[in-house]
Structure 1
Amino acid sequence: MAAGGTKIKPDCQENVESLREALKKDSDMGEQIKDVPDKALKRFLRAHLTVPEAHKVYVKCEKWRHKYGVENIKPEDPAIQSELATGKGIVLEERDKDGRPIILVTVQLHDTKNRDMEVLTKFTVYMLETLSKLSDQGEMDNICVLFDMKDFSLRNMDYQFVKTLIMLLQRYFPERLGVCLIVNAPTLFSGCWLIIRPWLDERTRKKVAFIYSEEELSQYIRLDVLPRKLF
């Protein structure tokens, strides 16, 4: 039944092998699938819950990665350098308390009216790929995204980018998000959240936590690993 459309247990080794065998038979995948670790296949099974759906999405994802040139995006790329220079998204040296790599996003440094969506998307793909590779080095194969909302204003609210980020995570980096911490969200953001929340599936919504104190934040991250005080 697991090989059909019935929902399965994603971490069951039998289902992982069923997905691997299906991908081996796919003309678009061939022998390369033998080098893919089990935990990568489990992420697709957790996200899509049936072997056929996980198979279909995995193949689409690999085609997109090749077409977009994910492996060829380097930090020396001028587009990446320009975004890194803003400091609005930085990967921390330390991990969260569950062993996830952390990206700190300083929202006030983003100006919706002064950004190139193509460049920003490329930068986001680069950062997600960087974080994914870091997560593969540890036991936890997902990431921690920390949004610092201090001094947030509506000029920072970029709905198009939020939609793009959600799309990338759902389609091409499934189950990579472990936890999303939204720190210092002002009352102004509550209206924005009412718009954003329905765009997230239930599984993703459960990964979002609003943080309003150092005590709350310290449940997820050691405060001394942060580059600055957030409160």
Structure 2
Amino acid sequence: MGAVSHEAINQLKTLMDQVDGRLKRTFQNVHQGYKAETLERFLKARDGSVAKAHKMLLDSLKWRLENGIDDILSKPIVPTNFYRGVRDSQLIGVSGYTREGLPVFAIGVGLSTFDKASVQYYVQSHIQINEYRDRVILPAATKKTGRYVGKCVKILDMSGLKLSALNQIKLLTAISTIDDLNYPEKTITYYIVNVPYVFSACWKVVKPLLHERTRLKVQVLQGSGRDELLKIMDYSALPHFCQRDGSRSSRRGVNTTEDCFSLDHPFHQQLYNYMKKQSGNCAPTRPLKHGSVHVEMPLADIKKAEICRTLESELKRFHSQDDLTRLHDIQISD
């Protein structure tokens, strides 16, 4: 939908002014001083309905309280070597900023394996990056640009995407559902690059099922997308997988400080040091313990469940075709 009316924002603000103190405190962590802009995000997520946006926001604030989200940045995943395994298998990072000052999040969809830790660690890590984005990165970008910056752009690298991605759909659906319900309208555009055939075919099936608001945010670019992305950001802000053309674009960076997925990259170093500092501020005498933060994962809505089933069905179809191709190749070689 388009712009949300001031009347709807004021109505939702009046309702939120009536919530109890605990909800107000956690709401402050959400809006970071930009209450109207935050209310607008939730209204957009519910097509301008004040009643639905109010329920969505209340449910989100209760989820935050029940799962200790306000304190999640004081709970780093330790030890560091274990966290490095999480970072090497859940590929996400910040490569820089657009010329308008929006942070550029890079996500290695195709090469993420999610096989170095339990589901809860990956969920915990994802939420921590969300909270760091909203409480540290975006406020800093707002201060630097002199105007409110409340969204980011995301570049999704599909290189290396295999049929084994079928095993990750449920985890990815759970993570995206957490985002939909608790961090709505935080991404202005999704750029998809290094697209293999299996994704192209699945995208044709899934695209019609998406909400128009989501479809309009997605841009599938040719190759590494470098030329298109350079229209909105400098070369230095490109993720490492977009800086080169051809087959080499999918490889991890040789220099780990340039590889925005690596724990050695400045973004992850700053994030991890921030969490360790917060941990010390909250409990200076208590040693860090190795254990994940258990976060209640909401069920996907009917629409998302339908998309998930469709995607699973399409990937299974490709898996069957791949099996037949291998069998045919064996018969020929025999």
- Same fold judged by TM-score > 0.5? yes
Distance 1:102 1:43 in 2: 20
User: Relative to 1, partners in 2 of residues 1:9 and 1:28: Cα closer, same or farther, differing over 3 Å?
Assistant: farther
User: Relative to 1, partners in 2 of residues 1:16 and 1:114: Cα closer, same or farther, differing over 3 Å?
Assistant: same
Which amino acid is the alignment partner of residue 111 of structure 1? T
Equivalent in the alignment of 1:47: 45
Distance 2:2 2:19 in 1: 21
Structure 1 segments, 4+ long, off by >6 Å, are none
Normalising by structure 1, we get a TM-score of 0.81
Matched, 1:173 2:166: no
Distance 2:116 2:208 in 1: 27
Higher helix share: 2
Distance 2:2 2:160 in 1: 45
Equivalent in the alignment of 1:19: 12
Normalising by structure 2, we get a TM-score of 0.58
Which amino acid is the alignment partner of residue 95 of structure 1? Y
User: Relative to 1, partners in 2 of residues 1:122 and 1:172: Cα closer, same or farther, differing over 3 Å?
Assistant: same
Query: Which shows bigger deviation, 61-70 or 145-154?
Result: 145-154
Distance 2:15 2:72 in 1: 30
Query: Which shows bigger deviation, 94-103 or 37-46?
Result: 94-103
Number of residue equivalences = 223
* Residue in structure 2 matching 1:129, options 108, 128, 131: 131
Equivalent in the alignment of 1:110: 112
Unaligned residue ranges in structure 2 (runs of 5+):
143-147, 246-334
Distance 2:83 2:10 in 1: 38
Q: 2:42–2:184: 8 Å Cα contact kept in structure 1?
A: yes
* Residue in structure 2 matching 1:200, options 210, 227, 237: 210
Higher strand share: 1
Sequence identity percentage: 21
What is the RMSD computed on CA atoms of the aligned residues? 2.9
Which amino acid is the alignment partner of residue 118 of structure 1? Q
Give the deviation of 1:69 after TM superposition.
Answer: 1.8
User: Relative to 1, partners in 2 of residues 1:197 and 1:16: Cα closer, same or farther, differing over 3 Å?
Assistant: same
SS in 2 for 1:102: strand
Q: 1:181–1:208: 8 Å Cα contact kept in structure 2?
A: yes
Q: Alpha-carbon deviations, 1:17-55, whole Å to 9, x = none? A: 221111122347665468662211111122111211111
Give the deviation of 1:153 after TM superposition.
Answer: 2.0
Distance 2:2 2:107 in 1: 35
Distance 1:97 1:205 in 2: 24
Which amino acid is the alignment partner of residue 92 of structure 2? G
Q: How does 1:85-164 map to 2 (within 5 A)?
A: 85-86=88-89, 88-92=91-95, 94-111=96-113, 116-133=118-135, 134-137=137-140, 138=142, 139-156=148-165, 158-164=168-174
Distance 1:156 1:219 in 2: 31
Unaligned residue ranges in structure 1 (runs of 5+):
1-6
Matched, 1:186 2:196: yes
Q: Alpha-carbon deviations, 1:136-181, whole Å to 9, x = none? A: 4422311211111223222345212331233122211011121111
Q: 1:105–1:145: 8 Å Cα contact kept in structure 2?
A: yes
Query: Which shows bigger deviation, 25-34 or 197-206?
Result: 25-34
Considering Cα pairs closer than 8 Å and 6+ residues apart, tell me whether 1 or 2 has the greater RCO.
2
